[in-house]
């Protein structure tokens, strides 16, 4: 007794001293932290993690010691405070020590650790003396207090050893020179705000460091600046290096075998296997701790049934009783506390497993994306140009397959944890139920194949849905890209039907998916009922019944997860196979430097033979990420000058190894420092020749010789989403005539360019590409048709100021592909091509002498082209006002919203604080209106069915469990009565009658099964009906929307509604809605049951409910912002991949690989940091909700035990309350998570509803179909009376008071400067623009009175930009299927394409790839001409339809138009004046008004005529 008093005094003294030191140190630390301390000073002392683990164990052992003392004191006749008071003080001292240590560590002031050294020493000595005292008095291992004291001796000794080790390593005391330690490199960068790797174990396990972040997110929206940078170990470059080293190791081990899926799996496991093993360990520990719940419930219910009587211990030493562990665990309150700690630890381990697995998956995703990008940089161009590998496939590999691997790594720990969980669960059931458990296991085993079958069918349905969804999106994308053509040709219904047809197939797959999902949930409920029925056959008690139910819930989880794990594994295997095929694809050949070059037979040759063949390496790329400089495909040397820059000898080139040569017998020389022009008809192989020189084609035979003084630059119209940032750009911009365009851009030369340069005109994109080439200081410049999208003035200026002045005068080698033959006199060397061969090579004089016929042909075309030059005073009038069309193009996407935004700015500038508070309030609110829109779309029948079925199902589930509790309680009480009355001789009379209970129970179970099926079907059917209705409404609205809508809304935004948002509504919202309703009703029913069982629980429920409310409120705001940030950072990453694939030739030519790789790292890290913060936020929520759930279990257990002991509560209801309390612990976080997910997903409904408000075009007319002649217009007479049109009611008119009369069959030419209103004039015929004054009368009918479908279907137009759709040639020419084959062949013959189509496999049924990429630009334009010829309408409009066609073909077409369409009215809008010289009438326009209107010969006779000045300028 005296010893115990001394121990208590020692503990009190130590705690007092430690508290004084702690608070003084805390005050010092807090003062210094205000001035100096930042998180960059965080240091972990040696043994940091071990110290925290030992402290946690110490706290648990001290709690057990306190509990043991209280239980021991309870069996004594008198009170003994010394049994638990010293342990209580030691508990406080241990908590104080860890807080004290944390403050010292974060302040980096180790000298104060001497206090802890002093404390651990005294504690170790004290507990050792106590342990020895127990040994001397015969206390052994059978007594719990002896074991606890021994554990404390070991723990205090280990903590003392840790403290001594800190002194040894840091030398902060007892040494003259303490060791200087710097903080981690990451934390020296103040931009790193993701602190999970650096904080202590307690903060890691509870995500305490996220508290500040979550609170800040509630006050201010989260952006990339808020989340900061990634730690170095998590950056894409670090993980890429780790993965690449693993790939190299696998390659070295298996150098003889090609790279395959197995090697990739080994590399992934080698690089990322260790954290996955840690995650699996956490998961198995969590699953094992999960079984503590059923066991504790069984013990609690069993003990309270016996009155919680602890057996009086037999051993009494030193005046007190010593209890054993068995006696200790027979106390229900002890089991409740142990259950509480087990739940805390289990949830902590589970969330740690989730976090480590997801973090590993995110790191893996970043590494694989970087690996894929490196491979893209070395891909052979032929793979993509011939359709073997499309940009879409590569983007799918990046966007889908890498995510599949990430989620597989997240689910991977289940592969090891599920078998352990099932085996342990079955063993425990066998322990509780005996042979009946084997019957239940047999049911589970029998139903497992059913689950597997359902999972397989779900996977197949999902794969089918994905295929149809991709097909639908492809058709929708084509429809949106060609929407202008569809409206002009009145083909909306055709493409609408095509998309709807694919949507119906997708809906069929979605129905299958919904059906199998319902079956899966149904099987889950059958398992539940079968388990209960299994227990009925056993001789069960409340403790056994409810422990078995809890075990069943644990066992069903892995079985339910089986389908997800199987699907994820299959997807991961497929993704790795795709990745293996991609990494093994052909790469562009690398040239060797001088030492390994193949030389020609003549050793003195001044040419350097460098084979540029494409090789199939079948192994990983050999890049080292540390060295960003890519391998040069052509070594550059300036040691000597050669006569020729490039020479090809007997070259044969192809796009595919099996295909015929695209270029044959290529023998050319490109002179050094001179201008070489490559000319020829459309499709003759000019661009292919450039690519062959650059090594982008597969070489069959021949050699390519490069001078050692050359570097190539390929230029194509390929624009990035980057800023204009030319350092020496003045001269270049003047040469490319870009300054007027820059002046009208919203932010000048700092304007952000959209993807593919979508917010620039074709001419602007082309000139920016040329400017990029002019800016580069390189020896060789390749220009591939840089004049195709430019008018004659811009072309001439670019030729004179850019190519001739800036390039040729600098003695740079220029290779120019062009159709502009008027520039041939400037060429130093000419290469003429025909049908993939070199027709002639030499100077213009050489060709004049040797090829007289070819030269005369050129001369004719050159004279025709020279007539287009307009170098008169009109050039000086090219002001900003004349660029109205360009300005409209640039501003059109923002015009509709600009006025509203300005009005909002005027209002909000006066009260920024009110605006911010309003925004924050909106962020915190649930989108109930969108939720109402979604549910109302289900209809008045499904919605009540959905609500009622959910309520009835959960009511029946509660009734089943409640009935079971009453049944077991009645059976136990009936069994106990004979024992109390000592009437064992009349046992037959006292037997309990199970029949009434079993009948009701069976009825409830059957009803529950039926309601479960009805509920799951109702949820899935509701989702299907809503998604069908929303997609159909959206498609109808979009396809009927006016053209102005597409000009002001980005195409990507519209496509996102059909892709991401529709996918969310199709697959995510129904599942989230079902999960949210289930988890919410389960939590509500559980709390109701617990409150019914123990009303005292309601008192504790209030503070817990308040905590839950604030946690979910703060979490939802942060989660939504982080989810949106995750999505928004993924889009630039995917765009970067697609842009790289499209501009791969240009990137390699410019040697920009390093810059683009660096940009990729930035995009990848931005996406990964957002994903990591989202993961951490989810873990933050789940840890807190599960801790609250553990508190619910503890309070429910304590109140139930108390009620049972003092209020005679039946033990069956105690078991029921505890079972439902465990359900709260499981489902509480899911309720909040699903609420947050639903809030984000309802944003898709909100965005789609926003588009549904779009006003459609007025397709109805004043005239009915019977009032319109069947063959209207039959003559083609057009009367334009006082016509004024504009693009929108808030924009200025583009045509002003135009009057004209076009007689039937006349050929009308319209010309004018850019922005003069020519194209607007043509669109007015189709009512594509707003006609607010005047009218157009065609064959006596005002077109404003006609239905739009009728008007547009009776006219024909050819646009400047050629548009082809994927499908067959027949479909592109005649999608309405109205023409015969002979009519189609006739149109192709007119368009000079008959020989091309006949040569294709399938003829008219030959395949056209997406966008017509398998045809040249000129051929696509000719197909569009043929399409217009097929319609055979009386009025035919050509809007600069021959811009991409060579002069010879254009000459033929002009003659065909004049003869084949002699009886039709033809309106030609031309930038090139020579195309309308033979017209019957010419209209010259300027600024929306008609300047001149007469016959061309009359206008030419007038010397002051503008048209005459156009034509006569260069004569």
Is residue 251 classed exposed, middle or buried when 0-12, 13-18 and 19+ CB atoms within 10 A define those classes? middle
Which residue from 113, 118, 143, 114 is spatially nearest to 131, judged by alpha carbons?
143
Q: What is the pLDDT of residues 988-1034, one digit of tens each?
A: 444 666 677 778 878 888 888 888 888 888 888 888 888 888 889 99
Mean pLDDT rounded to a whole number for the chain: 76
| Helix or strand run (H / E) with residue 856 | helix 852-866
Which residue from 1198, 942, 1197, 1196 is spatially nearest to 1087, judged by alpha carbons?
1196
Q: What is the pLDDT of residues 270-313, one digit of tens each?
A: 999 999 999 999 999 999 998 988 888 888 888 877 765 655 55
Q: How far apart are CA 1470 and CA 1468, in angstroms?
A: 6
Is residue 910 classed exposed, middle or buried when 0-12, 13-18 and 19+ CB atoms within 10 A define those classes? exposed
Q: What is the CA radius of gyration of the chain?
A: 40
Q: What is the pLDDT of residues 1398-1425, one digit of tens each?
A: 888 888 888 887 777 778 777 887 888 8
Tokens of residue 1388, six digits: 């192709």
Q: What is the pLDDT of residues 863-905, one digit of tens each?
A: 544 444 433 333 333 333 333 333 333 333 333 333 333 333 3
- Residue 115 to residues 48, 54, 93, 110, 1106, Cα–Cα distance (Å): 17, 18, 12, 10, 40
Residue 837 confidence class, pLDDT cut points 50, 70, 90: confident
| Highest mean pLDDT out of 181-190, 209-218, 909-918, 1255-1264 | 209-218
| Highest mean pLDDT out of 344-358, 848-862, 1372-1386 | 344-358
3-state secondary structure 925-990: CCCHHHHHHHHHCCCCCHHHHHHHHHHHHHHHHHHHHHHHHHHHHHHHHHHHHHHHHCCHHHHHHH
Q: How far apart are CA 1208 and CA 289, in angstroms?
A: 31
Residue of 951 and 619 predicted with greater confidence? 951
- Residue 393 confidence (pLDDT): 72
DSSP helix/strand/coil, 382: helix
DSSP helix/strand/coil, 1315: coil
Which residue from 393, 401, 416 is spatially nearest to 364, judged by alpha carbons?
401
Alpha-helical (H) ranges within 291-412 are 292-305, 325-329, 332-376, 381-385, 391-396, 402-411
Tokens of residue 52, six digits: 């925290």
- Residue 510 confidence (pLDDT): 86
**639 pLDDT exceeds 80?**
no
Q: How far apart are CA 260 and CA 243, in angstroms?
A: 15
3-state secondary structure 1411-1424: HHCCCCHHHHHHHH
Q: What is the pLDDT of residues 329-338, one digit of tens each?
A: 888 889 999 9
Where do we find the tokens 């000058």? 641
Q: What is the pLDDT of residues 795-818, one digit of tens each?
A: 777 788 888 877 777 778 888 888
**63 pLDDT exceeds 50?**
yes
1076, 1293 contact by CB (below 8 A): no
Q: How far apart are CA 173 and CA 171, in angstroms?
A: 5
Which residue from 1401, 1392, 1395 is spatially nearest to 1368, judged by alpha carbons?
1401
Q: What share of the chain is helix, strand, coil (3-state, %, to 5)?
A: 65, 10, 25
Where do we find the tokens 């605006």? 915
**60 pLDDT exceeds 90?**
yes
Which residue from 408, 578, 400 is spatially nearest to 473, judged by alpha carbons?
400
Residue 1069 confidence class, pLDDT cut points 50, 70, 90: confident
Q: How far apart are CA 953 and CA 1078, in angstroms?
A: 10
DSSP helix/strand/coil, 1298: strand
- Residue 355 confidence (pLDDT): 94
1467: β partners: 1308, 1437
Residue of 1311 and 1051 predicted with greater confidence? 1311
1483, 1300 contact by CB (below 8 A): yes
Q: What is the pLDDT of residues 517-530, one digit of tens each?
A: 777 777 766 665 65
Q: What is the pLDDT of residues 516-569, one digit of tens each?
A: 877 777 776 666 565 555 555 555 677 777 787 778 778 777 766 776 787 778
1373, 1379 contact by CB (below 8 A): yes
Q: What is the pLDDT of residues 128-180, one digit of tens each?
A: 998 998 888 877 788 888 899 999 999 999 999 999 998 888 877 777 777 77
| Helix or strand run (H / E) with residue 454 | helix 435-481
**591 pLDDT exceeds 80?**
no
1022, 943 contact by CB (below 8 A): yes
**41 pLDDT exceeds 90?**
no
Backbone angles phi, psi at 378, to 5 degrees: -115, 10
Percent of the chain's residues with pLDDT above 70: 78
Neighbours of 20 (CB within 10 A): 11
Q: How far apart are CA 1255 and CA 1042, in angstroms?
A: 8
- Residue 911 confidence (pLDDT): 42
Is residue 1496 classed exposed, middle or buried when 0-12, 13-18 and 19+ CB atoms within 10 A define those classes? buried
Q: How far apart are CA 5 and CA 15, in angstroms?
A: 15
- Residue 934 to residues 510, 931, 1025, 1080, 1218, Cα–Cα distance (Å): 18, 5, 10, 19, 37
Q: What is the pLDDT of residues 759-785, one digit of tens each?
A: 566 667 777 777 777 777 777 888 887
Is residue 876 classed exposed, middle or buried when 0-12, 13-18 and 19+ CB atoms within 10 A define those classes? exposed
- What does pTM read for this prediction? 0.74
Helix axes 1211-1252, 1153-1207, angle to 10 degrees: 150
How does DSSP assign 246-268, residue by residue?
HHHHHHHHTSSSPP-HHHHHHHH
Residue 974 confidence class, pLDDT cut points 50, 70, 90: low
Residue of 470 and 863 predicted with greater confidence? 470
Q: How far apart are CA 718 and CA 720, in angstroms?
A: 7
Is residue 987 classed exposed, middle or buried when 0-12, 13-18 and 19+ CB atoms within 10 A define those classes? exposed
- Residue 1245 confidence (pLDDT): 87
**922 pLDDT exceeds 60?**
no
1493, 1478 contact by CB (below 8 A): no
Residue of 353 and 1055 predicted with greater confidence? 353
Q: How far apart are CA 1026 and CA 323, in angstroms?
A: 65
Taking residues 744-770, report their average pLDDT: 66
817: β partners: 678, 784
- Residue 1208 confidence (pLDDT): 75
> Picking from 231-235, 390-394, 1183-1187, 1365-1369, which range would have the lowest pLDDT averaged per residue?
390-394
> Picking from 532-546, 1069-1083, 1191-1205, which range would have the lowest pLDDT averaged per residue?
532-546
Q: How far apart are CA 726 and CA 733, in angstroms?
A: 9
Which residue from 705, 702, 761, 755 is spatially nearest to 737, judged by alpha carbons?
761
Taking residues 486-509, report their average pLDDT: 89
Taking residues 236-248, report their average pLDDT: 90
> Picking from 174-183, 499-508, 1329-1338, 1384-1393, which range would have the lowest pLDDT averaged per residue?
174-183
């Amino acid at each position: 007794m005296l010893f115990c008093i001394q121990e208590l005094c020692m503990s009190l003294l130590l705690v007092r001293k430690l508290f004084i030191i702690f608070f003084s140190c805390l005050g010092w630390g807090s003062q210094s932290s205000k001035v100096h301390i930042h998180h960059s000073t965080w240091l972990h002392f040696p043994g940091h993690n071990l110290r925290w683990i030992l402290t946690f164990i110490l706290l648990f052992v001290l709690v057990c010691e306190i509990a043991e003392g209280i239980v021991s004191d309870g069996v004594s006749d008198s009170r003994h405070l010394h049994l638990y008071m010293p342990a209580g003080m030691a508990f406080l001292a241990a908590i104080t020590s860890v807080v004290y240590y944390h403050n010292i560590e974060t302040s980096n002031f180790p000298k104060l650790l001497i206090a802890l050294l002093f404390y651990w020493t005294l504690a170790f000595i004290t507990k050792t003396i106590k342990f020895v005292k127990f040994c001397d008095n015969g206390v052994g291992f059978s007594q719990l207090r002896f074991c606890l004291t021994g554990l404390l001796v070991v723990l205090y000794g280990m903590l003392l050893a840790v403290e001594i080790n800190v002194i040894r390593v840091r030398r902060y005391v007892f040494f003259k020179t303490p060791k200087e330690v710097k903080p981690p490199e990451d934390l020296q960068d103040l931009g790193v705000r993701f602190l999970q790797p650096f904080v202590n174990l307690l903060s890691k396990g509870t995500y305490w460091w996220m508290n500040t972040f979550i609170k800040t997110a509630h006050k201010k929206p989260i952006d990339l600046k808020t989340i900061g940078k990634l730690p170095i170990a998590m950056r894409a470059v670090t993980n890429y290096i780790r993965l690449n080293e693993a790939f190299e190791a696998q390659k070295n081990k298996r150098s003889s075998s090609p790279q395959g899926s197995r090697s990739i799996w080994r590399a992934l496991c080698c690089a990322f296997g260790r954290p996955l093993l840690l995650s699996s360990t956490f998961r198995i520990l969590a699953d094992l701790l999960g079984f503590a719940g059923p066991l504790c419930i069984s013990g609690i219910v069993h003990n309270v049934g016996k009155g919680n009587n602890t057996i009086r211990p037999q051993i009494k030493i030193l005046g007190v009783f010593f209890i054993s562990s068995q006696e200790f665990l027979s106390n229900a309150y002890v089991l409740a506390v142990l259950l509480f700690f087990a739940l805390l630890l289990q949830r902590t381990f589970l969330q740690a497993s989730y976090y480590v697995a997801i973090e590993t998956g995110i790191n893996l995703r970043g590494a694989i994306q970087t690996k894929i990008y490196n491979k893209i940089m070395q891909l052979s161009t032929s793979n993509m140009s011939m359709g073997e590998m499309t940009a879409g496939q590569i983007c799918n590999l990046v966007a889908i397959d890498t995510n599949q691997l990430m989620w597989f790594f997240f689910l991977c720990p289940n592969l090891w944890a599920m078998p352990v969980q099932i085996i342990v669960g079955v063993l425990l059931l066998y322990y509780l139920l005996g042979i009946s458990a084997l019957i239940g296991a047999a049911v589970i085993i029998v139903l497992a194949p059913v689950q597997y079958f359902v999972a397989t069918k779900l996977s197949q349905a999902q794969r089918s849905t994905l295929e149809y969804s991709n097909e639908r999106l492809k058709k929708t994308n084509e429809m949106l890209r060609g929407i202008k053509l569809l409206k002009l040709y009145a083909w909306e219904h055709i493409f609408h039907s095509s998309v709807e047809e694919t949507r119906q197939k997708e809906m069929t797959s979605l129905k299958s998916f919904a059906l199998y999902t319902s079956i899966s949930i149904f099987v889950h409920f059958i398992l539940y009922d079968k388990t209960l029925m299994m227990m009925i056959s056993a001789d069960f008690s409340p403790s056994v019944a409810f422990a078995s139910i809890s075990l069943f819930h644990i066992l069903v989880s892995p079985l339910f997860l089986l389908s997800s794990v199987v699907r994820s594994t299959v997807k991961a295997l497929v993704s790795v196979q795709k990745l293996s095929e991609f990494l093994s694809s052909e790469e562009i050949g690398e040239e060797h430097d001088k030492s390994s070059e193949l030389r020609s037979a003549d050793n003195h040759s001044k040419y350097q033979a460098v084979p540029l063949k494409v090789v199939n390496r079948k192994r990983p790329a050999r890049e080292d990420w540390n060295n960003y400089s890519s391998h040069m495909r052509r070594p550059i040397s300036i040691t000597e000058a050669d006569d020729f820059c490039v020479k090809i000898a007997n070259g044969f080139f192809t796009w595919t190894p099996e295909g015929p040569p695209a270029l044959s017998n290529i023998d050319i020389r490109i002179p050094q420092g001179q201008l070489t022009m490559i000319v020829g008809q459309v499709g003759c192989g000019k661009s292919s020749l450039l690519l062959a020189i650059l090594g982008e084609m597969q070489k069959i035979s021949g050699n390519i010789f490069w001078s050692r003084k050359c570097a190539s630059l390929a230029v194509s119209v390929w624009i990035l989403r980057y800023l204009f940032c030319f350092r020496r750009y003045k001269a270049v911009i003047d040469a490319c005539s870009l300054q007027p365009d820059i002046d009208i851009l919203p932010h000048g030369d700092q304007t952000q360019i959209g993807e593919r340069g979508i917010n620039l005109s074709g001419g602007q994109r082309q000139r920016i590409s040329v400017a990029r080439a002019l800016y580069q200081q390189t020896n060789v410049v390749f220009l591939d048709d840089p004049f195709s999208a430019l008018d004659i003035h811009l072309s001439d200026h670019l030729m004179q100021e850019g190519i001739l002045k800036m390039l040729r005068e600098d003695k740079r080698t220029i290779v120019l592909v062009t159709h502009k033959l008027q520039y041939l006199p400037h060429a130093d060397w000419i290469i003429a091509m025909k049908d993939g061969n070199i027709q002639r090579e030499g100077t213009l004089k050489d060709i004049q002498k040797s090829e007289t016929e070819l030269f005369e042909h050129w001369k004719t075309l050159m004279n025709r082209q020279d007539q287009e030059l307009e170098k008169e005073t009109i050039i000086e009038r090219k002001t900003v006002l004349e660029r109205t069309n360009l300005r409209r193009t640039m501003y059109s996407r923002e015009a509709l919203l600009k006025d509203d935004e300005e009005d909002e700015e005027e209002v909000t500038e006066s009260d920024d604080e009110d605006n911010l508070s309003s925004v924050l309030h909106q962020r915190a609110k649930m989108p109930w209106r969108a939720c109402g829109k979604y549910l109302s779309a289900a209809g008045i029948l499904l919605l009540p069915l959905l609500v009622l079925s959910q309520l009835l199902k959960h009511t029946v589930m509660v009734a089943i469990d409640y009935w079971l509790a009453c049944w077991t309680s009645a059976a136990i009480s009936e069994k106990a009565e004979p024992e109390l009355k000592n009437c064992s001789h009349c046992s037959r009379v006292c037997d309990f009658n199970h029949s009434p209970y079993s009948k009701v129970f069976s009825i409830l179970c059957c009803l529950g099964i039926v309601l479960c099926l009805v509920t799951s079907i109702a949820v899935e059917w509701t989702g299907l009906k809503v998604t069908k209705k929303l997609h159909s409404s959206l498609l109808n609205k979009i396809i009927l929307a006016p053209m102005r809508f597409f000009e002001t809304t980005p195409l990507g935004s519209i496509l996102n509604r059909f892709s991401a948002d529709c996918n969310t509504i199709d697959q995510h919202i129904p599942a989230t809605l079902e999960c949210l309703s289930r988890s919410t009703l389960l939590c509500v029913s559980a709390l109701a049951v617990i409150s019914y069982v123990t009303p005292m629980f309601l008192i504790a429920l209030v503070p817990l409910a308040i905590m839950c409310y604030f946690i979910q409120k703060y979490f939802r705001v942060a989660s939504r912002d982080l989810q949106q940030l995750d999505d928004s950072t993924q889009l630039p990453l995917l765009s970067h991949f697609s842009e790289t694939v499209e501009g791969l030739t240009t990137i390699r030519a410019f040697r920009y690989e390093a810059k683009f790789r660096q940009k990729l790292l930035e995009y990848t890290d931005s996406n990964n940091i957002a994903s990591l913060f989202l993961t951490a936020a989810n873990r933050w929520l789940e840890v807190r909700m599960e801790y609250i759930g553990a508190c619910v279990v503890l309070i429910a257990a304590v109140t139930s035990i108390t009620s049972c002991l003092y209020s005679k509560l039946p033990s069956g209801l105690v078991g029921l309350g505890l079972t439902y309390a465990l359900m709260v612990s499981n489902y509480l976080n899911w309720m909040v998570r699903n609420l947050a997910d639903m809030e984000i997903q309802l944003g898709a409904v909100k965005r789609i509803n926003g588009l549904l408000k779009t006003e459609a075009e007025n397709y109805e007319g004043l005239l009915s179909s019977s009032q319109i002649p069947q063959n209207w217009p039959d003559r083609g007479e057009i009367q334009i009376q006082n016509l004024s049109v504009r693009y929108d009611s808030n924009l200025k008119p583009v045509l002003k008071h135009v009057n004209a009369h076009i007689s039937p069959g006349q050929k009308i030419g319209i010309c004018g400067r850019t922005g003069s209103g020519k194209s607007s004039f043509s669109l007015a015929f189709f009512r594509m623009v707003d006609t607010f004054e005047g009218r157009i009368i065609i064959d006596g009918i005002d077109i404003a009175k006609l239905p739009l479908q009728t008007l547009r279907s009776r006219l024909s137009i050819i646009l400047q930009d050629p548009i082809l759709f994927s499908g067959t040639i027949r479909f592109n020419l005649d999608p309405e299927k109205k023409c015969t084959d002979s009519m189609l062949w006739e149109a192709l013959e007119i368009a000079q394409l008959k020989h091309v189509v006949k040569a294709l496999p399938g003829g008219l049924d030959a395949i056209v790839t997406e966008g017509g990429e398998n045809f040249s630009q000129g051929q696509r334009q000719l197909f569009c001409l043929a399409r217009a010829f097929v319609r055979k309408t009386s009025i035919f409009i050509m809007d600069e339809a021959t811009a991409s066609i060579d002069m010879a073909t254009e000459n033929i077409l002009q003659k065909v138009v004049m003869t084949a369409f002699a009886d039709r009215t033809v309106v030609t809008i031309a930038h090139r004046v020579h195309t309308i010289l033979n017209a019957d009438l010419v209209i010259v326009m300027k600024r929306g008004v008609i300047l001149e209107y007469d016959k061309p010969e009359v206008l030419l006779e007038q010397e002051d005529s503008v048209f005459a000045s156009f034509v006569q300028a260069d004569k």
